[in-house]
Amino acid sequence: MRLKNLPVKPAYHLIETPEPVFTRLGGLPLTGPDFTWPEWKNRALAFVMQIRFSEINATGAIPFLPKSGLLYVFYDAEQSTWGFDPEDRGSWKMLFQKDETEALQEPPVPATLPEWGVYPAKQLAPKLIQTYPEWEAEAYAEMSHYGDLPRHHLGGWANPIQNPDMALECQLASNGLYCGNSTGYQSPRAAE
């Protein structure tokens, strides 16, 4: 295998750390006083993770990522949506806050969020790695970036788990085509 000829993209592997950092999976978000908990279909979305870009992208190794700011990710606590149906729109939410200096605190848990919709917290730290396209699975298999650790990474090549045509599926569903079967892919609008 000739790794030097593969199209390589840098990424940050997000690994658990005992250090007290802002970036984490689960728990409750640390937010400013004007925060409004996102909802979908009159239910609070579950908090998935938060990222402080000044912690993650301090080296600037991934130029398209902001140097600072806070990103919050929320998703349907029922995990009932997969993203291939345009009707799923709103079942996930990403919020970006430019100001990292604002006083942050945990908001109260909304009454419409089930107890099991608050996940255990894990602090995350970035480790700069190189990623390869999913179609170069052999290269991934031989890389020791992940080992037995989860494959959480920011930037780099996507590592789709179920569908290698994830980008196409996202584009079609974002434009109103249902992709839970072949109808969206075969639609005359798909070429647009």
Do 123 and 29 share a structural domain? yes
CA distances from 93 to 39, 71, 88, 126, 185 (A): 9, 10, 11, 23, 25
Do residues 23 and 51 make contact, with C-beta atoms less than 8 angstroms apart?
yes
Q: Which of the four pLDDT bands, split at 50, 70 and 90, describes residue 1? A: very low
Q: What is the pTM of this model?
A: 0.82
Residue 2 has pLDDT above 50, yes or no: no
In a domain, 1, yes or no: no
pLDDT at 55: 92
- Whether 2 is in a domain gets the answer no
CA distance linking residue 23 with residue 18, whole number of Å: 12
22, part of any domain: yes
On whether both 142 and 182 belong to a single domain, the answer is no
Task: Work out how many domains the chain is built from and give that number.
Answer: 2
Question: Is 60 exceeded by the pLDDT of residue 26?
Answer: yes
Same domain, 148 and 169: no
In this predicted structure, the answer to whether residue 3 has a pLDDT above a threshold of 60 is no
Residue 64 counted as domain residue? yes
Are 111 and 170 members of one domain?
no
At 173, is the pLDDT very low, low, confident or very high (cuts 50, 70, 90)? confident
Together in a domain, 170 and 107: no
Q: What is the pLDDT of residues 73-82, one digit of tens each?
A: 999 998 887 7
Residue 188 lies in domain: 163-192
Q: Is the pLDDT assigned to residue 39 strictly greater than 90?
A: yes
Tens digits of residue pLDDT in 140-168: 555 556 666 667 788 887 776 666 677 78
- Mean pLDDT over residues 4-28, rounded? 88
Any idea what the CATH number is for the domain that residue 68 is in? Answer: 2.30.320.10
Q: Are 126 and 113 contained in the same domain?
A: yes
Residue 92, in any domain of the structure: yes
Least confident span in 17-21, 93-97, 173-177: 173-177
